[in-house]
Structure 1
Amino acid sequence: MKQATLRQILIVTDGCSNSGMSPVAAAALAKEQGITVNVIGVVERNEVGEQGEAEIKEIAEAGGGLFDIVYPAQLAQTVQMLTRKAMTRTIHQVVNKELKEILGESALEGLTPEKRMQVAGMVDDLGERSTLEVAMLVDTSASMKPKLSAVQQAIHDFSISLRSRSGTSRMSVCLFPGKDKYLDIVIPWTEQIEKAHQITSNLTMSGLTPTGPAIVEAIALFNHVPLPAELADSYRSRYNETEDDDGFLRDHVF
């Protein structure tokens, strides 16, 4: 079974989207492009509310990912746990699909406990050897300001955890909303985060939370994952960006 490349968008937010396209629709679009969308709600005193909790859940479901709502002190651990769980689930889906093609639906259901353990071991092995790319999108709406120190620590700890994998791991950190765009890339693709404090350098907090547009722009961060033509045209018109022959937005690909 060939080595996989697992692509994830991880959203860290504390509120509801209030600008641009539906984040649920954007997450579904990411899933169509082979990118899993995970969401972590960071709250204090249950401030996320029913509407925010529902949106977080719907984004993750549409993006084929997982979600959790945590206090700032739990963020670092949750980032690592959610990423690993989503990675394992994706590999399970790939392995099950290939086994069904080889063995057939009924044969797969009839696997002995020993064979099932072998499959589980294969999933774990693939999880360690696969290439993992994670684009972390950090909400910089005004209410997130007191939580950014926890976000910085989570980024640092997550970077360390990625180094323990045997497979290639890369991460990128982006802020939304950006200064001139929906998304600002503060740490381009890297295998090691050295300066997590970069996310607060010259940071301007905003009242907007354009989660949907941020997800759409994040899709173009991944090599060989183009935006659909109609969206690429829309974003090129909005930001006067140029597009290469393959349909990628050049200044969003690293």
Structure 2
Amino acid sequence: MLKQILLITDGCSNVGMSPVIAAAHAMEEGITVNVIGVVDHGELGQLGSQEIIEIARAGGGLSRIVSSRQLSQTVQMMTRKTVVGTIEKAVGKELRNILGDDQITQLPPAQRAEVVHVIDEMSENSAMRVALLVDTSASMKPKLAAVRDALQDLLLSLRARAGQSEVAVFHFPGSLSGEVEVEMDSPWTQDLANIHKMFYKINMRGTTPTGPALLNVVEYVAEKPSLDSSKDGILGDYVV
């Protein structure tokens, strides 16, 4: 199963561990981290953009800096592009094991075409899980309507795939008390029927614990035993 995290943020984390370290941990777990930055102009936007690039690089994924109106199209594009990229790496690794490094580039055109066809088929039919992690700090408030629209469009896009696709949604920071760094809005699902209600009652604050939030989601996607739904924490009580 292909696993990836899609982080939507304006950058500039200011609480807890580095999100770059959390993204590197995700890569070790076989989880790709992609980052879409919805940033403003000015010095703060430049700092946020640099962090966004570094998180994606550490997580083996892609990064894009976009405006709110470009968000929906970018979410779909990045999700599909990284699926293809992940499969290309896996197929390339198998070919190197079978043929050796020097032989891959020497495949006849017909055989190279077969490899491309296999990649296309796997991209469309492989099971996939996408965990969406949304920054809901105070600076993101004007952008949340665009985020909701983007999530709805992503679900429509994933439903069109032949392979099984599931999505989970999280936001950070968590509770107003500050004790929860990230909260779950939806566990793994193929149908976000209440997408329009997400983020509706969130108390938006200035803190941005991107690193701790990302690490929590990595553990959820990797199905770590510590994040048991029977215990307190991000799985204990989610919003729908």
1:58 paired residue number: 54
Give a deviation string over 1:81-126, Cα, whole Å, max 9, x none.
0111111111000000011111111211211222222111111100
Give SS of 1:58's match.
helix
Give SS of 1:16's match.
coil
1:170 paired residue number: 166
Q: Unaligned regions of 5+ residues in structure 1, if any? A: 227-246
1:210 paired residue number: 209
Q: Normalising by the residue count of structure 1, what TM-score does the alignment of the two structures yield? A: 0.86
1:243 paired residue number: none
> Against the structure 1 CA distance between its residues 47 and 166, is the aligned structure 2 distance closer, same or farther, given a 3 Å change threshold?
farther
The answer on 1:102 being equivalent to 2:80 is no
- Structure 2: distance between partners of 1:209 and 1:198: 22
Give SS of 1:166's match.
coil
Q: What code does the residue aligned with 1:248 have?
A: S
Residues 133-172 of structure 1: pairs in structure 2 closer than 5 A:
133-172=129-168
Q: Which moved more, 1:77-86 or 1:41-50?
A: 41-50
Q: What code does the residue aligned with 1:109 have?
A: T
Q: What code does the residue aligned with 2:100 have?
A: G
Give SS of 1:30's match.
helix
The answer on 1:33 being equivalent to 2:29 is yes
Give SS of 1:174's match.
strand
Shift of 1:16: 0.8
Shift of 1:129: 0.8
Shift of 1:45: 4.4
Contact in 1 for aligned 2:39/2:49 (Cα 8 Å): no
Q: Normalising by the residue count of structure 2, what TM-score does the alignment of the two structures yield? A: 0.91
- Structure 2: distance between partners of 1:70 and 1:48: 15
- Structure 2: distance between partners of 1:126 and 1:45: 40
Count of aligned pairs between the two proteins: 229
- Structure 2: distance between partners of 1:165 and 1:137: 22
Q: Unaligned regions of 5+ residues in structure 2, if any? A: none
Shift of 1:47: 7.2
Q: What code does the residue aligned with 1:15 have?
A: G
- Structure 2: distance between partners of 1:125 and 1:151: 30
> Against the structure 1 CA distance between its residues 200 and 27, is the aligned structure 2 distance closer, same or farther, given a 3 Å change threshold?
same
Shift of 1:32: 0.2
> Against the structure 1 CA distance between its residues 125 and 145, is the aligned structure 2 distance closer, same or farther, given a 3 Å change threshold?
same
Q: What code does the residue aligned with 1:250 have?
A: D
Contact in 1 for aligned 2:184/2:235 (Cα 8 Å): no
